[in-house]
Chains A and B, each alone.
Chain A
Amino acid sequence: MELALVTLLNGLVYGMLLFMLASGLTLIFSLMGVLNFAHASIYMIGAYLAYQISQMLGFWPALIVAPALCGAIGAAIEMYGLRKAHRNGHIAELLFTFGVAFLVEKGVQMIWGLAPVPYRVPAELNFALFTIYGTNFHAYRGFMLLISMLMFLAIWLMITRTRIGLIIQAALTHPEMVAALGHNVPRVFTTVFAGGSALAGLAGVIGGNYLVTEPAMAFTMGPIVFVVVVFGGLGSLTGCFIASLIMGFVQSFAVVFDVSLADLLAHLGIAVSPENAFAEVLTLPLPRIAALLPFLLLILVLIFKPRGLMGTRDT
């Protein structure tokens, strides 16, 4: 029980972090039809910028400046790169973002080195917020939860209650009509791309010190965020939110429960002998295959339920 509660909280923190990345990606994906491979790279840039700025000015200015810079980078990528690649078709756009992701990874390695950088949780938040069943809940996790909840609220209010939100919603389904009404659709694209990038940057700022800030972080995070977006369904922020939380819980619980298929079979009264041809697969403990679960989920969803949880159209 106590383990379940602590894991639940950890899953919530991780899930909200995923949502911060996935919300921007799903908006970009459903608006422009571009699977943005560089989204997780912006997340990485956010973490590295936050590290650099917190070295010079401290963590709190970094919390504001780094996402803003990431938003600017996103806008530049959209205006000077993606828009040009768009002329050559969807595959070219996808390849362009793939190239950007590749370039960012190598660039980060070049500027900040191959090893992880010591980007740490700020001292003000480095204490145990409360203790449940003898396990400390770190104040920084509470802070992450707070920031991501606030972000969720802000996005939700912006999308549903403001004029720009209404235009974005309309452009999701009827871009030609929105353009015919006199709105600048390319500018809406740039705005969404910049906003999504800023959110990814923020996720990097608060996630970089919670996880690890290293050149491989984009590559480990990217595919998981894709899974969330596809699982939640295109064009649906609610679906994306639910998928993020599910993914957070799945990942956290899979790491904790040390069971294997052989244990499950043992419950049913079937013993797995080491001579069995599938013994290696069956005795593999769950924590070791935790990293595999998102990809398994991705393949299954894309094959059997292409619209995802709450999506309105195919991927």
Chain B
Amino acid sequence: MTTVVRWAGNIAGDPGIRSAARRYWPYVALLAFTIVLPWLFYDWSKARHAGFVVSLLSQMGLMIIFALSFNMQMGEAGLLSFGHAVYLGLGGYVTIHVINAVRLGQFWLPMELMPLVGGLSGLMFSIVFGYMVTKRHGTAYAMITLGLGELVTAAAVMFNGFFGGEGGITANRILKTSLLGLSYGPGIQVYYLILAWTVICVLAMLLLTQVPLGRMANACRDNFERAQFVGYDPRMVRFYQCALSGFFAGIAGALYAIDYEIVTFDAVSAILSGNALLMTFIGGVGVFWGPIVGAVLITLLQSWMSLISNAWLIYVAVLFIVMVIYAPGGVAGLFMAHVPIWRAGRLSALAVPYLRILPPALIGVAGFAGLVELTYFVTIGSGQGKTLNVFHLAINTSSPAPWLLASGLLALGTTIALSQRRAFTTVWDELAEHIRTKERG
């Protein structure tokens, strides 16, 4: 007993462990939070989980893997792909066939390792397709992957044997082949399976950014001619990076198959590929955790905004365009831009400029949202017999008053925000200059 106490005391006193604990406690806390999270929405009176929340969290987990694997190409290697869902979808199709085969007793495989099936099949397809597509880079790469995505989607609709045509392939995930004795019937068990694999994949992809391959991918992205001079073949670097990202996308595909128990051509479609792009870009391509933020944000928007507004995709599109022009680093980039200012202890200097620019900008956004919603309810909503309610107040979309109000808010908000923009950039540039001089001397 005393030895155990002394041993524990030694560990706690070990400076290496202590500094590691200080460094990694936010990540451990985050992990603990994700484990507890579904229980915060647990309905104790009925003794059951909130199905909506659990499925939302599961979806977030697999989308995090998907977005990070997309960023292995886009952020790490500078390869913009419009067909990344191909690897997810094909991994999902193989997994669902394997689940069905295990159910028929053709062979035995525990559910916990099923994502590896998806990952390996994703890897196989990304080796085959990647060998062809990585011959090119830049815009040509974007176009080839677009063509590839369209090709696979069309094939998925066309062939019944492997893809099940338009209906897709279904499976039942309750296999009783679990190593842990779980049935994987309830959504909460699937959530923990997805969480475990998400943690494994995130750590593996983080590791891959630190090894020589990840560094060379960065080099080939930034200046592939110099990388060539150093003695690396950019083509092979692109190929390895693409193949490995296909592996992780395949894992996401397997989790997709397990979570939804159906894989249709939606899983390989351009819409899902575009989703990966949206998540990664809005989250931020330049920082490793950017796509994680993007995946969480977009999945939340998808589930929550689509309940409030049917025109939510318009907002996502506008957000995306604004981000591309004004914040190409995404949410993570915006955050990282504030870090040096925070380190210098000058964050408070930004408070007033932010207070002057954000409220009018929000008014403008409200006006824009109002116009979009009004238009939507005039065309599609009225056809579906819906009425526009704001704070339980029915709005008459045919009268000019709401239209005038919304346009007025939009015009007023954007005018004031634009007039404040110069004051904001002046302060921002001053701070940047201040930090630069401080660093120099």
Contact = CB atoms under 8 A, between A and B. Distances in A.
Nearest to A229: B143
Interface residues of A, number: 47
A129 interface: no
**Range, interface on chain B:** 35 or more
Interface in B116-163: 132, 135-136, 138-140, 142-144, 146-148, 150-151, 154-155, 158-161
Given A102-B274, A292-B154, A295-B154, A92 B142 contact: no
Nearest to A35: B139
Given A92-B328, A292-B154, A299-B151, A226 B321 contact: no
Interface string A300-311: 001100100000
B281 A95 contact: yes
B275 to A, nearest CB: 11
A223 to B, nearest CB: 6
A58 interface: no
A303 B136 CA distance: 8
A96 B321 contact: yes
A12 interface: no
Interface stretch (B27-35, B106-114, B206-214, B373-381): B373-381
B78 A99 contact: no
Interface string B264-294: 0000001000100100010000000000000
B380 A96 contact: no
Secondary structure of the A side of the interface?
helix
A281 B162 CA distance: 11
A223 B135 contact: no
Contacts of B317: 99, 102-103, 106
A95 B277 contact: yes
A89 B159 CA distance: 40
Interface stretch (A110-118, A186-194, A239-247): A110-118
Contact of B151 (A98, A296, A303): A296
Contact of A223 (B150, B318, B376): B150
A102 B320 contact: yes
Contact of A302 (B80, B143, B150, B158): B143
B324 interface: yes
B383 interface: yes
A121 B143 CA distance: 34
Interface in B152-197: 154-155, 158-161
Given A35-B142, A90-B139, A111-B375, A299 B148 contact: yes
Contact of B311 (A81, A99, A110, A299): A110
Contact of B379 (A110, A284, A314): A110
Nearest to B155: A292
A103 B380 CA distance: 17
Interface string A16-49: 0000000000000000010100000000000000
B188 to A, nearest CB: 35
B379 A112 contact: yes
Interface in A74-128: 81, 84-85, 88-92, 94-96, 98-100, 102-103, 106-107, 109-114
Contacts of B159: 280-281
A37 to B, nearest CB: 9
A149 to B, nearest CB: 29
Contacts of B313: 102, 106
B352 interface: no
B325 interface: yes
A222 to B, nearest CB: 9
A164 interface: no
B185 to A, nearest CB: 34
Nearest to B321: A99
A287 B80 CA distance: 32
Contact of A299 (B142, B144, B154, B326): B144
B144 A302 contact: yes
B314 interface: yes
A280 B150 contact: no
A183 interface: no
A112 B375 CA distance: 10
Contacts of B372: 110
B158 A289 contact: yes
B380 A99 contact: no
A154 B83 CA distance: 38
A88 B379 contact: no
Contact of B320 (A99, A226, A230, A281): A99
A150 interface: no
Contact of B147 (A35, A102, A223): A223
Contacts of A100: 321
A257 B431 CA distance: 69
Nearest to A230: B143
Contacts of B78: 91
A112 B376 CA distance: 10
Contacts of A92: 324-325, 328
Interface string B301-328: 0000000000101100110110011101
B139 A280 contact: no
A315 B143 contact: yes
A132 B361 CA distance: 64
B139 A33 contact: yes
Contact of A284 (B158, B320, B380): B158
A50 interface: no
A292 B151 contact: yes
Contacts of A110: 311, 314, 372, 375-376, 379-380
Given A223-B146, A298-B144, A315-B139, A280 B161 contact: yes
A100 B218 CA distance: 29
22 contacts: A84-B326, A88-B328, A90-B138, A91-B80, A95-B320, A95-B324, A96-B325, A102-B274, A103-B318, A106-B311, A113-B380, A223-B146, A296-B147, A298-B143, A299-B132, A302-B140, A302-B143, A303-B132, A306-B140, A314-B140, A315-B139, A315-B143
Given A92-B325, A92-B328, A292-B151, 10 more contacts: A88-B324, A91-B80, A110-B372, A223-B147, A227-B147, A280-B159, A289-B154, A302-B140, A306-B140, A315-B139
Interface of A: 33, 35, 81, 84-85, 88-92, 94-96, 98-100, 102-103, 106-107, 109-114, 219, 223, 226-227, 230, 280-281, 284, 288-289, 291-292, 295-296, 298-299, 302-303, 306, 314-315
